[in-house]
């Protein structure tokens, strides 16, 4: 019961851990079809005030490469974007990936809100995916698995490995939409980083026990994990504050300061720089 009370009060806590040099690889900003707490510039300014290294802005609906470029110019802070291959951009659309890459986009997220609309067993879709992953390898982009199911993730990992993709993120592996076991995460970690997001612990989302994340990190190893927030929703904490709370919570659950540095600074730096 005490743990349940703690979990549901996470969003009310005040984090203290400094964020200097850290990178939030997953946050949502305005403009968006749903209300967001901060716009691109405000999120960049808030991260800059904390002396963070960078942020990555994601939209389920539209590419964020151009938006990130504007935020970088206006704030002088590193903001990265990319494209999420949902139906609003044409699904597995090679041209959308080419355009994002031409505008200095860094990340190609496979479908999230449209994941159930794309059957990867269909040859047409698989051919499109092959072309996209080949381009990701050629342009040294980051492949993120979005909301794909475990079986599809392993198929994608096999294809990515065959094409020479070196930078891969498995998004929120413990959430309901993915639901990877620790053993499956260990297997995934041989070829990708496991990205654990604070939003999954909050009520109104997955309500995930933070202990499960800490346990997975210890089993998989911090060298193959990333901590991020996935914040920006109007009903949730401000992203930098949520990042601090998440880090403080992980440290209380036995994750060392060195492991925090690896997951929040070293691993994201390897991907984005």
The CATH number that applies at residue 158 is 3.20.20.140
Helix 239-252 to helix 210-220 angle, to the nearest 10 degrees?
70
Helix axis angle, 150-163 to 123-138, nearest 10°: 50
Other beta carbons within 10 Å of 136: 23
- pTM equals 0.93
Asked if residues 159 and 129 have their Cβ atoms less than 8 Å apart, the reply is yes
The DSSP string of 53-85 is: SEEEE--SSS--HHHHHHHHHHHSS-EE-EEE-
3-state secondary structure of 236: coil
Range of the domain at 184: 2-272
Q: So what's the pLDDT on residue 1?
A: 32
Residue 3 has what pLDDT?
38
> Is residue 187 predicted with pLDDT exceeding 50?
yes
Residue 14 pLDDT: 64
Q: Provide the pLDDT for residue 143.
A: 98
17 pLDDT tier (thresholds 50, 70, 90): confident
How large a percentage of the chain has pLDDT more than 90? Answer: 90
Q: How many domains does the chain have?
A: 1
Sequence-separated (6 or more) residues with CB below 8 Å from residue 94:
128, 131, 132, 135
Q: Judge whether residue 94 has pLDDT over 60.
A: yes
How many Å apart are CA 10 and CA 18, to the nearest integer?
18
Give the tens place of pLDDT for each residue, 33-60: 999 999 999 999 999 999 999 999 999 9
Element (H, E) at 217: helix 210-220
Dump pLDDT digits (tens) for 218-240: 999 999 999 999 999 999 999 99
């Amino acid at each position: 019961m005490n743990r349940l009370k703690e979990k549901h009060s996470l969003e009310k806590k005040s984090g203290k851990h400094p964020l200097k040099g850290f990178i939030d690889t997953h946050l949502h900003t305005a403009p968006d079809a749903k209300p967001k707490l901060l716009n691109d510039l405000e999120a960049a300014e808030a991260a800059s005030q904390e002396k963070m290294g960078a942020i990555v802005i994601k939209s389920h609906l539209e590419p964020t490469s151009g938006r990130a470029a504007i935020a970088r110019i206006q704030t002088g802070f590193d903001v990265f974007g990319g494209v999420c291959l949902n139906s609003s951009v044409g699904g597995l659309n090679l041209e959308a990936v080419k355009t994002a890459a031409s505008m200095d986009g860094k990340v190609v997220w496979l479908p999230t809100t449209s994941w159930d609309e794309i059957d990867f067993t269909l040859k047409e879709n698989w051919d499109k995916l092959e072309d996209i992953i080949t381009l990701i390898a050629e342009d040294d982009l980051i492949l993120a698995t979005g909301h794909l199911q475990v079986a599809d993730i392993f198929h994608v990992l096999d294809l990515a490995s065959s094409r020479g993709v070196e930078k891969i993120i498995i998004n929120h592996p413990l959430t309901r939409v993915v639901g990877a076991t620790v053993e499956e995460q260990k297997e995934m970690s041989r070829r990708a980083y496991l990205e654990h997001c604070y939003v999954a612990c909050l009520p109104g989302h997955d309500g995930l026990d933070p202990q499960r994340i800490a346990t997975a990190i210890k089993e998989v190893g911090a060298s193959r994990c990333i901590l991020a927030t996935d914040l920006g929703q109007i009903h949730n904490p401000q992203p930098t504050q949520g990042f601090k709370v998440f880090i403080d919570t992980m440290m209380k659950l036995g994750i060392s300061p060195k492991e925090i540095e690896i997951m929040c600074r070293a691993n994201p730096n390897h991907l984005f720089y």
